[in-house]
Structure 1
């Protein structure tokens, strides 16, 4: 969907057109759910994603600028509000992949290695700071550009580039340690 199509869809959604609202949710719900799964425990991800879309529908008339940036900023606020309400100081680390790993145990060696690498990567992402984890999720998992990530995280593009460099360096170090056997 290009920018003009999205703008048209947003205009129709602002007027309350059910088909446009459904199309927006269908397009962005999976992306927000995926983001939430990296930010909170798996059992909370769907509930918080639903809360994001409730807020989107309530505030659609106030949206300005990039819709994806606005949407993910709401998603981040929902995460912050949840943590505040729960009194949590740290979020639960990544969801466990044990079931998926067990199902892959009898698969070909290369498939098992791919799954293990994914698990290692998710665990390493879980060890990053909250800001680094948020940046990696937005930029590399959701595929957002630096401008959108900058708007969502309320930082300058230069600060985003520095944070990205540090996050990728930390990931490389974590994965290298795991490969050598220091982290196990």
Structure 2
């Protein structure tokens, strides 16, 4: 797998920590699609009607830019972990504001730790889409690279292709559940999923990921 993104992230992170030009802004843009993808999986349909993953991520990037001096890491993997911590806090505030305030069902309470754990599972599923089971376990750097590349390619897919992959692989829904969410038959969803995966693989192969 190419490590071009990780190499660029290393250079931009070093430049940002040295106060060089627009390095921080360019660094944050590398993570835009990844953060939007992960945020999207944490907002259920009701919450999506009140806020968007794009808005949550925009707030996250603005906070990261403002508070960059507080970042104490030295590598892209640590920087991503820091960004995700900010994202988790923002998601937690949204859940508390829109869900817990209703107080309709105490079982719906979600702690920041719960949100963080769900993010971890989503990320693992994200990387697993393109993982080769015959390979040795990936390093943090390889997982970092794969996650960003995959998120970028998913962002370029047609909406229905991206949606079926998100529901099936990121949210982990069974095909009947995916069919209900997309308001299609199970057979139609399976065919859509097959076409979506095929197109995603072509895109990833062109980037040297597979």
TM-score normalized with structure 1 length: 0.49
TM-score normalized with structure 2 length: 0.44
Greater RCO between the two (CA within 8 Å, min separation 6)?
Answer: 2
